[in-house]
Structure 1
Amino acid sequence: MNTEQVLLKLRESIREPKGVLALTGLLGTSSAWLIARLLKSVNHPILWVTSLQKEAEQIVSDLSFFSDCPVFLYPCHDSLPFVPLLPSTDTISQRISTLYRLATEEGPAVAVAPAQALAELTVPPEVLLNHVEYLQKGEEVDREKLLKWLIDSGYESCAIVQSRGEFSIRGSLLDIFPPITTRPVRIDFFGDFVEEMRLFDPLTQRSAEDLNELVLLPCNELIFSRSMYEAIHEKLVKRAAEYNLSARRVHEILQQMEARRLVEGHEALLPLFYSKPASVLDYTPQHTPILIDRPEEVDPALENFRKGAEQTYETAFGEHRVFSPLDSLILDSEQLAKRINGHTCWLFQDINLYGSLLESSNITSLVQQLTKNTGFSVGPAHPNIQELEIKSGRPDLTLIPGGAKKGKDFVGLALDRLKDWIEAGERIVLVVPGRRQSRRMMELLSYHEIVSDEAAGPTMLSAPLTSDPVEPGLNICTGELSSGFVLPGEAYIVITEEELLGSRTRRTRGSGREKATVSDLVFEDLRPGQPIVHRDHGVGLYKGLVMIETGGVPGEFLFLEYRGGDKLYLPVDRLGLVQKYIGIEGRTLRLDRLGSSSWQLTKKKVRKDIYEIAHELVDLYASRKVSKGFEFSPPDAMFQQFEASFPYEETRDQAASIEEVLSDMQESRPMDRLICGDVGYGKTEVAMRAVFKAVEDGKQVAVLVPTTLLAEQHERTFMQRFQRYPVTVEALSRLKTRQRQREILAGISHGRVDIIIGTHRLLQPDVKFKDLGLLIVDEEHRFGVKHKERLKRLKQTVDCLTLTATPIPRTLQLSLLGIRDLSVINTPPRERIPVKTFMAEFDDSLIKEAIEREVSRGGQVFFVHNRIKGLYRLAEHIQRLTPDARIEVIHGQMNPTELEEIMIRFVRGDIDCLMCTTIIESGIDIPSANTTIINRADKLGLADLYQLRGRVGRAGEQAYAYLLIPRISEIGKESIKRLKAIMELSVSGGGFRLAMQDLQIRGAGNILGVSQSGSIAEVGYELYLELLQRAIEEFKGFPQKDEIDPEVNLGIPAFIPEEYIPDVEQRLFLYRRMARLEDSEKDADFSLELRDRFGPMPEETTSLLKVMGIKRTLRLLNVVRLDRSFSDNKERIVLSFGPEGPPNRAGLLEAVQKNRDWRLLPDDRLIIFPEFIEGAVDSLAGIRQTLQVLVKKATKI
């Protein structure tokens, strides 16, 4: 049958449901294309069922490419039922959102669900739909009632809303992140009326798009109310005896319910809440078609889910954690079939397997249950199934005579096949991921003399073929598509760039948002009791923010404590004087004493050490300017071909870095460029482009890495990337036999080896290159002093590219401009799947399920326990829980060779679970390690947790992180807050920037080759880097003055009132940001942000913002202090200049002469009388205007 005939049959089956319709022959993404076509002519939603969640997510992506109709995922829970794990708010929100939309969506739409989600029970439709709040702009709302609804519906109150299920109330503003919106919403009330509703960015907290109406859905499948609570209490107590439930457990459940919190293993509570829990099938309107994709895989998936649920139920039953029979908690195939009957049911398959499915002895088969007693009869073979077949195939470019072997032009051969299709009159659509790749593809095709047109967009592919705008020939279309398909009888081919240029890993789409700068986030994680550095007084302890009244004027102060109990109260407008102290791990912190000279002596000593480093850096720059190197040729067609075979679209930063590297290589002086970027951000591909260009121009390349493990990883990566080109890649390390090493050395000296990868072994005298042109160094700071000296000599004659996964502060990047060429990749890859993160109490059944699930899908597990004492005992316990898992232990006190041997075995897949401390190096890429379990996560800092979690989730698989804690009641609120932050952490989240702060500051020293841990420990990383930055600028010929932080005494309250922003951390963070505002434009923008986020600014906060502006002006004048007083109702200002006096004394004297009331005293104090401005609302307007006049006179040289 052709596609039009199949579509006709599908439409008929919707109008007149008669049973099961089976369609075979759907290969590639032809099923998504077919349904997208169908959506144009039906007015019903469709429920599409897959075997696994990963497939469901892929279907959502493919359907979204072909159709602009609503497509949404109904996910399964993140773990098997009855595992003591807090459910993910994101998953719950997505489930509830899809249920609501499925029940209320009018017109064509598709919900896609994995088999497990179909069998999981949830809130009944009548309960959910009766528990929805609708808000409209301009309507009156009972705010007290709305607040109660939010709490009953599972929303959690917080200071800043960044994740789903959170809300925050600040005066007239309500911030909320409901399940159904893509971003959080800010509701601005005028009294009880909804004045405005706006979506806002969770990262910047700034408002964006206006809304006229809003649907608020619950964030919990267990919807609470006081009347229900009493009924549930009664049921729970009744069943406690029946299921041997302890009184303590009953009390804990009731406490969690009363607090309206998500409950671990909440599925077990559903029958207590609802007499008839529902399935997603109960939300589908009448005549909704149920599409079961590859039923031969859906059946085993349902069976596996059932078996897993039975096991976890048995464990939970033994631990007294369930209080209902299993059949009342999840559905089996027979129950599912009963709920599907009455709907049109479609079975989609690649090939016809229905006979084997129906004749199977498996009585739990969903297909058997669906076709049993339907009364539908079409033919004698399978009387209860109407069978249709469509002719489709895959766009196979691999069937090239002789195949694509090494040494042949694989892309050229594939493009020849493309030409054959074009000449045969086929209509071809080539799908590429983005605009940049589209342009690159068109250039490649043009080079091979293939004509192409850039298509308008993906939705055109859904038009009926009879009126399809795609003409014969090749059309390029941008979008995300997992694979293509061929309709042989209809001369129609859809092909992806992946299929054209070769197989590669697929990844799902992500946000691809850029990391924000972190320079203004120093204080965001500052807690009372943590160390802080005052520029003038040294290291003390931050004790909190306190309100103090001085001279009858209230103000907020930082309370700092020094050695001997000395106390310092710092006004909030002087936060520029302090920095969070970040020192060297393992070093004992020594507090300074107020008034002592030791701090000044310490700074003097550190400055001396820093000047030596700065001098060395500048000398290196000078010598590089006069060196001569090899000028590489510009990129050509062969390079473009290599470029086109890159699996993903480059991020903006990555593309810029590649351009900078290629430009450097074409210069006559040797390149010495540093590429900074987090693991997985694409540094290696930047290096690959440089390597290809060097090899293409006949030069050899050496890739130097610090460990054998990294050498093996890079060898694998380079061989895979260059497999289709006549390039010889070798690796030299202790893992090679002596004989093999001799062969490789001979190959290097005779030029037979193009790319050699190795550890410091490459720096030994017996390694002689025939014609080395490029040196790639990975993590240079990890090499020893002798190795670095050898590297220095190499760098003088060949191009060098250094890679590091350690980020550095933006300010230091700017200072290094002109001294060391620097490329920073700050944009995360769009394709990364966020790691699903859970917090749970230590539980054997949870650990067993997490490890066995990962191992069963061919993956590996990190189990982090950050105490060597007890690590082996814990490993034995885990081995007893999972007897089939291969478990090994590593820690920092092991012999380095033994440790590396175990890591190599882990990377090769010979170990299933690695029990370790936090020693695992972050540069290692282990795509198969996609579960990490962190024991006593409450004992680790946010940055440590971020790094540990970042070691999984680097492949296309969904990764999981489990943060294990003792009983929640046993750990502090701060620990809970930190763990929640890491659970909510995403690339685009503010918490991510916070976690990066420590990494940036710690990493800067490494990048510079700084080994002065003593100096760093004495003054803290941030001040150390600030001093280094100043020293570099001075050696570059830019004199640096000591930065002034003027003291301003205006006699007016200037602070952020607690009533305006109650959260202390937020106030501290905003104070810091205010102190760093650079000009009046930034002031105005910051003021708008405060009004947007917190409502109209109180007078005290407005005054503080003006004070910060005055301080900027005072710095220009070199004024260290301003005092304001009134005499005879006349305002008087006294300005005290710094030791260097005013910047332009002659100009100042001229200004004083013109204003006869002004006085310049011998001690360099200036008395001025600000100009009175008639009708000025701003009480500081006169001061600001007078200071501006003074700036024009006294700063002009």
Structure 2
Amino acid sequence: MFKNKYNKYQNLIYEIFEQFQISDQSICLITKNNQESIYIYNGLKYFFDEDSLKLFPETEVLPYDHFSSPERIIQNRFQIINEAYSSKNILITSIKNIFERYPEIEYFKSFETFKLGHKISVFNLVKVIESLDYVKKTNVEVINDYAVRGGIVDIFSPMYENPLRIEIFDDTIESIRFFDSETQLSIENIDKFFLSKGSLFSLNEQKILTFISRWRNYFINDDERYCDIFQKIKNGNIPEGIEIYLPLLFKNTVNFFELFNHHDIYSSLNLFHEIDIYDEFIKQRFNDENIDHKRPLLKPDKLYIEKDELQQILKNVKNINIKEINLQPENFDDLINLINKNSFKENLLIVTSFADQIEELCKKIHHKTQIISDFSEHNNGISLMYGEPVTPFFDERNNTYIFHKEVIDKDYSFTSSVKKDDMNIIKNNDFSLFKENDYVIHENYGLGIYSGLETVDANNTSNEYIKIIYADNENLYVPLSNINKITSYHKKNIDKGIALDSLSSTKWKQKKDRAIKRSIDHAAEILDIESRRQKSSSFSLRIDDKSLQEFNDEFPFTETHDQVVSFNSIQKDLSLIKPMNRVLCGDVGFGKTEVAMRAAYISAFSGKQVVLIVPSTILCDQHFNSFVKRFMNFPVSIKKLNRHTTLKNKKEIINDFNNHKIDILITTHIIFNNEVEFQQTGLLIIDEEHKFGIKQKNFIKDKQSNIHILYLSATPIPRTMNMVYAGLKDFSFLQTPPSNRLNIKSFLKTHTSQLLKEALVREKSRNGQCFIVQNDINKMENLKNEINQLLPEFRIGIAHGKLKKADIQKVMSSFHAGNLDGLICTTIVEMGLDIPNANTMIVINSQNFGLAQLHQLRGRVGRSERQGYCYYLVPNMDIPKLSKDRLASVIKNSKLGEGFLIAQEDLEIRGGGEMLGDKQSGHVENVGMSLYLSMLKSALDNTQESTTINDIEINFYDSAYIDNNYLPSAIERLKIYRKINKIKSSADLIDIKNNLIDRCGKMPPETKNIIENKKLEIIARSIGIKSIKSNKLNTSFLITSDFSESKFDKLISLVKSDPQKFAIDQENKFIYKLNELESITRRQKVTDFLNALL
């Protein structure tokens, strides 16, 4: 049998399985690193259920790091330590973990258990929570948070994957449920919960005093006044990188084996050798980092377990003597050759991380194969299945070899891509929400300062108002029903000072009137531009559902809800003769390309051509490969055209396209010429639309005005956003991130060699890769030399647009295959590259990049289940304010799916002139962007003869507000008021009502009144009623011209039949003489009355 001297695959997984079977104790297996731990863990899942397996994760930070471990790591560790003694198990850990110091095991254990029916008040439960050092927040989003709203207590314990919501009534726990930290909505009921400490580093007074005392005893000669971390901890704040002072925060610490003292220790390594290596690495890191007097470091023997102590503990470790497996292929192709030559008779299971490759792999094997979904389905012969990466092993029980394709190919660029149910994450972002002391514009009174919410008592009722301060400290109290009249105000040079408007002056009215006049002219200009296109008839693109379903079924993942909704909208657009004009917005990796492919499928199978335009040659190549692979089983001709296409091939491709021999053409700016004919083009897709100018985007549209157009972007440009706001472009939004993706940690840092080295080492230590963006091509070689001097073994390549096609392809292929640790590149990497193993992005001179570029670059990393890091480096912090604003914005909006928020910030930072053109810039600055857009929308509606009733007044002269005891956070109340104000349907109102009850508990009467008022407003709007005013004697209805003749006849009949109860006055108001003191009863009677009119 052929043996590969480089691989020497050992049958470790099966040996561990056998050892566990005969052992009475739990087993702790020590591995070389986290990746080996994961591979072994995945392999053992073929023999055990996951309850019997514990993978103790590494922290993903370096010794003496400036950053903290991702919270999911802390969460996993808490759970494992708590579960480790519950039953016999296999614990898998690495060399790195056994060097760490830990708090004593009691710190991790659950302190309290609570069940349904447990007698406890909210006050006492909060006392327990605070005794465990949880931190009070408005909303619970991360571990160690808790929040209280009336009888509801939310808490995120590291013991659980999701936060808990406990509902207490009459000092009894009535409900316990998990909720989604993104949507804040409940997802699952449970009957009991456990509480442990919320975090390793939650701070209380005693812990802070312990830290201060130990710090001063250890760092006798260091001035604590200049140490940022010391000052933060002293003031009760948890800084990044607090882990380097862990021994100073706890009275006692223990080693790893004291945490798991019931486990027998096993390893197949030369442990003493591996311990020597990591011990040297810790010392090297200490020497590298111990250069900043403002960040003094504990010596290695204080922060870590000493080498001698570890060797003493491990002298009785049980070594696993492992045999090599007989089959040792060099790579996957070698394995296929051995199979096809009948070189062995054993059974074989081939596993791959790419579900869409399985059928192709079957075709390479010249023997009967079966595709299975679970190891238990494997019998004799050769089977293939989708699965996570695993080290090759031999299962002696059923004479079967298990090989994972990407592992034996050493293709580390793959990532697990498990099909999961849609998480349906809905982020209810309010882009124009304002905070206290923000500048705001009131539609009728102008520019003031928002001063918060204030409850005002008058006429035996209480209501909450928005307080705005104007010039000369004049105050305006705005009813919450008029919240739609208030918009946030942003100005490009806001730091130069702003003059507030005066409530006693007419200057605001003059500015507003000029802006309204300009918005009307602007609306006419926009409509004139688009009307020509809208009047033309496009191709109606339709195919039968069965054909489309066949294509959709080949998608190897589960579509998210957003993808389905967006595609359904696009499919409907394509079926109409009105040309589609739609923007599909979604962050990188959220599935825009798949939606575009389905649209292309419809066009191609409707007999019409598709043109996909991308801004770079690299992205063109990548899209071409993706499309060819996706359409592999369908009769579709796909070609690419870019600057690397030879002149001969270019002429041939253009000729074939003009003669309709090409169904889908993927191309770059090269398409903008007069040689290409678009008469049979049904669909134009523009990817990364923010990279193209107006003339370029209009080039094909001008030649073929009736073409369907789909724009793809993570950060739409201001002009596109303007068209969306104006209603002239349709908009679809992909908000749901891929399964298991983590938010990327983003940092603004001063560029130093030590920081660069640290970032590169951190990524390399977890077998990952790095992008280093240097946009100055002339400085790339110097940067490469600097990195080579810092890290001689770090494999680095260079890529930029001026290289030859073959050179770019060579370096990109090498990087994609994992043969390079880092890639120095220009912003060519910004667009569409997908390398899941690259999870660190370093942007040199980030102050010179635009906001969309900064976001797009960050999107190139964190595309797998690993934590992604993005470093925005600047030469120093003395950079222009506009650059500071951009960088602050991109760091603030760092959650998954926030590309659209980046676009919003772009509008505000750039100012109105860049968005709407010079003609509008002055008017936008005078009235604010939000109000100007509202004026523009109103002007467009009026031009298009919209008859929507805008303001409807509902007043029952009673209290109608959200009590601060029910929802304590003023900003959260403001969000709810805004949502209620924007609602147009009863179904949406029911959702808000249910969400409020879920989050805050049973509604008090005054909050119910808001919901009931809105319900009446929705009905009133639908039938043409402008206002409803109800006191204890009469209820009046102001009727508009939209009120139908048949309904008016009903009112006349009521007046005639019962004039003592009904009347119509001279102001065209219908009077309902209820003579009812209780407003709750009046509301119900008015609701019943209006429903009878419907």
Q: What TM bracket, shorter-length normalisation?
A: 0.7 to 0.9
One of 89, 93, 113 as aligned partner of 1:113: 93
**Alignment partner of 2:1012: what SS?**
helix
Q: In structure 2, how many angstroms separate the alpha carbons of the residues matched to 1:1087 and 1:548? A: 24
State the partner residue of 1:236.
215
* Contact 2:582 2:731 (8 Å CA) reproduced: yes
Q: Which residues of structure 2 form unaligned runs of 5+? A: 2-6, 795-800, 878-883
Following superposition, the deviation at residue 950 of structure 1 comes to 3.5
One of 1116, 1122, 1127 as aligned partner of 2:1028: 1122
State the partner residue of 1:1161.
1065
Following superposition, the deviation at residue 95 of structure 1 comes to 2.7
One of 481, 489, 503 as aligned partner of 1:573: 481
* Contact 1:281 1:340 (8 Å CA) reproduced: no
Q: In structure 2, how many angstroms separate the alpha carbons of the residues matched to 1:180 and 1:121? A: 21
* Contact 1:812 1:1029 (8 Å CA) reproduced: no
* Contact 1:848 1:882 (8 Å CA) reproduced: no
Distance 1:112 1:945, change over 3 A: farther
State the partner residue of 1:398.
333
* Contact 1:683 1:803 (8 Å CA) reproduced: yes
State the partner residue of 1:1048.
954
State the partner residue of 1:366.
none
Q: Does 1:1068 find its partner at 2:974?
A: yes
Q: Does 1:246 find its partner at 2:241?
A: no
What amino acid is aligned across from residue 1148 of structure 1 in structure 2?
A: L
Alignment of 1:466-865 (within 5 A): 470-472=378-380, 480=388, 490=398, 492=400, 505-508=413-416, 513=422, 516=425, 521-522=430-431, 525-532=433-440, 534=442, 541-560=449-468, 568-580=476-488, 596=509, 598-614=511-527, 617=530, 619-625=532-538, 627=539, 650-651=559-560, 654=563, 675-687=584-596, 702-706=611-615, 710-711=619-620, 714=623, 730-733=640-643, 740-741=646-647, 744-745=650-651, 748-749=654-655, 757-766=666-675, 776-780=685-689, 782-793=691-702, 795=704, 802-806=711-715, 825-830=734-739, 832-836=741-745, 846=755, 848-854=757-763, 859-860=769-770
One of 249, 253, 262 as aligned partner of 1:277: 253
1:843-893 alpha-carbon deviations (Å, 9 max, x no partner): 98556422554478674456899xx9xxx99x9999999965999xxxxxx
Deviates more, 1:1009-1018 or 1:612-621: 1009-1018
Q: In structure 2, how many angstroms separate the alpha carbons of the residues matched to 1:608 and 1:83? A: 58
State the partner residue of 2:1049.
1146
State the partner residue of 1:316.
290
One of 1003, 1007, 1011 as aligned partner of 1:1105: 1011
State the partner residue of 1:329.
303
Following superposition, the deviation at residue 927 of structure 1 comes to 6.3
One of 172, 176, 199 as aligned partner of 2:155: 176
Following superposition, the deviation at residue 946 of structure 1 comes to 6.7
- TM-score norm. by structure 2 comes to 0.76
**Alignment partner of 1:288: what SS?**
strand
Following superposition, the deviation at residue 741 of structure 1 comes to 4.1
State the partner residue of 2:995.
1089
* C-alpha RMSD over aligned residues: 6.3
State the partner residue of 1:954.
863
Following superposition, the deviation at residue 183 of structure 1 comes to 0.5
1:331-384 alpha-carbon deviations (Å, 9 max, x no partner): 3554334333445343xxxxxxxxxxxxxxxxxxxxxxxxxxxxxxxxxxxxxx
What amino acid is aligned across from residue 80 of structure 1 in structure 2?
A: L
* Contact 1:534 1:577 (8 Å CA) reproduced: yes
Distance 1:200 1:423, change over 3 A: same
* Contact 2:156 2:198 (8 Å CA) reproduced: no
Deviates more, 1:790-799 or 1:678-687: 790-799
Q: In structure 2, how many angstroms separate the alpha carbons of the residues matched to 1:834 and 1:567? A: 42
Distance 1:545 1:906, change over 3 A: farther
**Alignment partner of 1:111: what SS?**
strand
Distance 1:428 1:1009, change over 3 A: farther
Q: Does 1:68 find its partner at 2:49?
A: yes
1:362-409 alpha-carbon deviations (Å, 9 max, x no partner): xxxxxxxxxxxxxxxxxxxxxxxx4544445679763599x9xxxxxx
What amino acid is aligned across from residue 790 of structure 1 in structure 2?
A: F
* Contact 1:715 1:731 (8 Å CA) reproduced: no
* Contact 2:536 2:706 (8 Å CA) reproduced: no
Following superposition, the deviation at residue 603 of structure 1 comes to 3.2
Q: In structure 2, how many angstroms separate the alpha carbons of the residues matched to 1:422 and 1:1033? A: 75
Query: How many residues are paired up?
Result: 1048
Q: In structure 1, how many angstroms separate the alpha carbons of the residues matched to 2:150 and 2:729? A: 50
Q: In structure 1, how many angstroms separate the alpha carbons of the residues matched to 2:890 and 2:55? A: 26
* Contact 1:862 1:914 (8 Å CA) reproduced: yes
State the partner residue of 2:103.
123
Following superposition, the deviation at residue 238 of structure 1 comes to 2.6
Following superposition, the deviation at residue 283 of structure 1 comes to 1.9
* Contact 1:485 1:495 (8 Å CA) reproduced: yes
What amino acid is aligned across from residue 82 of structure 1 in structure 2?
A: Y
Distance 1:1160 1:583, change over 3 A: farther
Following superposition, the deviation at residue 84 of structure 1 comes to 3.7
* Contact 1:271 1:328 (8 Å CA) reproduced: yes
Distance 1:1002 1:227, change over 3 A: closer
Deviates more, 1:818-827 or 1:117-126: 818-827
What amino acid is aligned across from residue 248 of structure 1 in structure 2?
A: R
- TM-score norm. by structure 1 comes to 0.71
* Contact 2:111 2:196 (8 Å CA) reproduced: yes
Q: In structure 2, how many angstroms separate the alpha carbons of the residues matched to 1:251 and 1:788? A: 50
What amino acid is aligned across from residue 1016 of structure 2 in structure 1?
A: I
One of 182, 204, 229 as aligned partner of 2:183: 204
**Alignment partner of 1:163: what SS?**
coil
Q: Does 1:1183 find its partner at 2:1080?
A: no
Following superposition, the deviation at residue 814 of structure 1 comes to 14
Q: Does 1:256 find its partner at 2:233?
A: yes
Q: In structure 2, how many angstroms separate the alpha carbons of the residues matched to 1:394 and 1:1009? A: 63
Distance 1:132 1:647, change over 3 A: same
Q: In structure 1, how many angstroms separate the alpha carbons of the residues matched to 2:488 and 2:950? A: 19
1:1088-1125 alpha-carbon deviations (Å, 9 max, x no partner): 43333223333322222222223323324533333333
1:259-307 alpha-carbon deviations (Å, 9 max, x no partner): 2x43554344344455763232222243434345xx3799669725742
Following superposition, the deviation at residue 76 of structure 1 comes to 2.6
State the partner residue of 2:78.
96
Q: In structure 1, how many angstroms separate the alpha carbons of the residues matched to 2:164 and 2:960? A: 30
1:654-696 alpha-carbon deviations (Å, 9 max, x no partner): 5787799899999999998765433222333455677799999
Q: In structure 2, how many angstroms separate the alpha carbons of the residues matched to 1:805 and 1:99? A: 41
What amino acid is aligned across from residue 1134 of structure 1 in structure 2?
A: S
Q: In structure 1, how many angstroms separate the alpha carbons of the residues matched to 2:1043 and 2:656? A: 69
Q: In structure 2, how many angstroms separate the alpha carbons of the residues matched to 1:799 and 1:1082? A: 32
Percent identity at matched positions? 22
Q: In structure 2, how many angstroms separate the alpha carbons of the residues matched to 1:290 and 1:38? A: 10
Q: In structure 1, how many angstroms separate the alpha carbons of the residues matched to 2:437 and 2:811? A: 40
Alignment of 1:342-357 (within 5 A): 342-346=316-320
What amino acid is aligned across from residue 316 of structure 1 in structure 2?
A: N
Following superposition, the deviation at residue 423 of structure 1 comes to 14
Distance 1:115 1:931, change over 3 A: same
1:541-596 alpha-carbon deviations (Å, 9 max, x no partner): 53432233344533211234568977543211332444445788999999886872
Distance 1:717 1:1019, change over 3 A: farther
Q: In structure 2, how many angstroms separate the alpha carbons of the residues matched to 1:631 and 1:1190? A: 45
Following superposition, the deviation at residue 1067 of structure 1 comes to 0.8
Following superposition, the deviation at residue 199 of structure 1 comes to 1.5
State the partner residue of 2:28.
47
What amino acid is aligned across from residue 146 of structure 2 in structure 1?
A: F
Following superposition, the deviation at residue 956 of structure 1 comes to 6.9
Distance 1:792 1:587, change over 3 A: farther
* Contact 2:585 2:732 (8 Å CA) reproduced: yes
What amino acid is aligned across from residue 99 of structure 2 in structure 1?
A: A
